[in-house]
Amino acid sequence: MWGFFVCLLHLITIMLRFVELIKLISGNSWGLAAGSRGFDQQWLSVTFSQAIFLGNGLVAIVSGLFGNVLVDTLALGPVAPFDAAACFLAIGMAIIMSSWTENYGDPSENKDLLTQFKGAAVAIASDEKITLLGAIQSLFEGSMYTFVFLWTPALSPNGEDIPHGFIFATFMMASMLGSSIASRLMARSSLKVESYMQIVFLISAAALLLPVITSFLVVPSGEKGGGISFSGCIQLIGFCTFEACVGIFWPSIMKMRSQYIPEEARSTIMNFFRIPLNIFVCIVLYNVNAYPIVFMFGMCSVFLFVASLLQKRLRFITESQRSRSQEWTAMKETDSEAEPLNI
């Protein structure tokens, strides 16, 4: 019977990853398509930041506190938050279906699935910026979704009684802080997204390395139960820092996607990179008991460090192209000024 429930949990996780994939791809593409119809492009950055701040932040905080009330205060059991989520999902679906207009794209560019994937493969192979951006997003999201499965056992290795709902709400507050920081960073025309994201990835790598460091420096407590340990408190600070980086990551990666990936192939291109991402997350979940938690966090930290290196390469390419474009513009202006002298 226990094996059946484990298999059911894996199936539910796979289905949730597909739902998350559809939500991210379709919602982002719909917003980018709607924002490109005669609106100021600066509104796009503000919209992305507000979506992360209000949707992934404020609403998630309320959800965490509400879930904690359902489980602990009202004693409705651990399934109650899932039932409540299904109800709110149905309400959201009704609002979207009744108030949103469909984005069918350009009817003249309708292509079959194979043609779309071929076009996406050509775009990825021909533009290094797209390849780098897709790899960066896959590495960060892979670490992020792995963290989702690991933070609970990391904070309660000996069965400590921790307030999961309140901790989740704290994570979401950190994410809100990160999205607020991102909106201010993107509002500064002198600061490019490619510049500060390299630092964000390095901070994320250091934050997820804390469980590895504490496993060597802090003597683990052998007592069962009780409250969160000293090592858990240190890790919690690192996890909140990582969630703040997640809040910066989402609007920033959306901004870079709008700059480098063509809109007509954006969804297909991102699906290319999310296929290995989803496979990786499912493998990690299936083998979560096969490796120590510190190994998993160390692997995520390495992924984030690699993402920072790829971000540095992306920044170098964009700055080189920008500088060549400015030189070419200056040469054209010089030639146009010199032409009257040759008459």
Q: Nearest CA to 53 among 185, 250, 201?
A: 250
Q: Would residue 271 count as lying in a domain?
A: yes
Residues 162-217 pLDDT 10s: 888 889 889 988 988 998 898 889 888 788 899 999 999 999 999 999 999 998 88
How long, in residues, is the chain?
A: 343
Residue with tokens 């460091």: 213
- For residue 4, being part of any structural domain is answered with no
Residue 109 clears pLDDT 60, i.e. is over it: no
CA–CA gap between residue 52 and residue 159 (Å, rounded): 32
Range of the domain at 185: 42-78+115-327
Q: What value does the CA radius of gyration of the chain take, rounded to a whole number of Å?
A: 23
Between 93 and 268, where is the model more confident?
Answer: 93
Count how many domains the chain has: 1
Is there a domain that residue 23 lies in? Answer: no
Q: Is residue 6 part of a domain?
A: no
Residue 48 domain-assigned (yes or no): yes
Residue 94 lies in a domain: no
Give the orientation angle of helix 293-338 with respect to helix 193-217, to 10 degrees: 160
Q: For 229-239, what is the mean pLDDT?
A: 92
What is the rounded CA–CA span in Å between residue 137 and residue 249?
A: 9
Q: Alpha-carbon distance 130 to 262, whole Å?
A: 9
Helix axes 230-260, 2-35, angle to 10 degrees: 40
> For 305-324, how does the pLDDT look when each residue is reduced to its tens digit (9 = 90+)?
999 999 999 999 988 887 77
Note the pLDDT of residue 341: 47
Q: Is 101 within the bounds of a domain?
A: no
DSSP secondary structure string for all residues of 135-181: HHHHHHHHHHHHHHHHHHHHH-TT-----HHHHHHHHHHHHHHHHHH
| pLDDT attached to residue 237 | 95
The enclosing domain of 48 has a CATH number of 1.20.1250.20
Q: Residue 154 pLDDT > 50, yes or no? A: yes
Tell me what the mean pLDDT of segment 82-98 comes to: 89
pLDDT for res 136: 94
- Give this prediction's pTM: 0.78
Mean pLDDT of 87-92: 90
- The reply to whether 89 falls in a domain is no
What is the distance, to the nearest Å, from the Cα of residue 1 to the centroid of all Cα atoms in its chain?
35
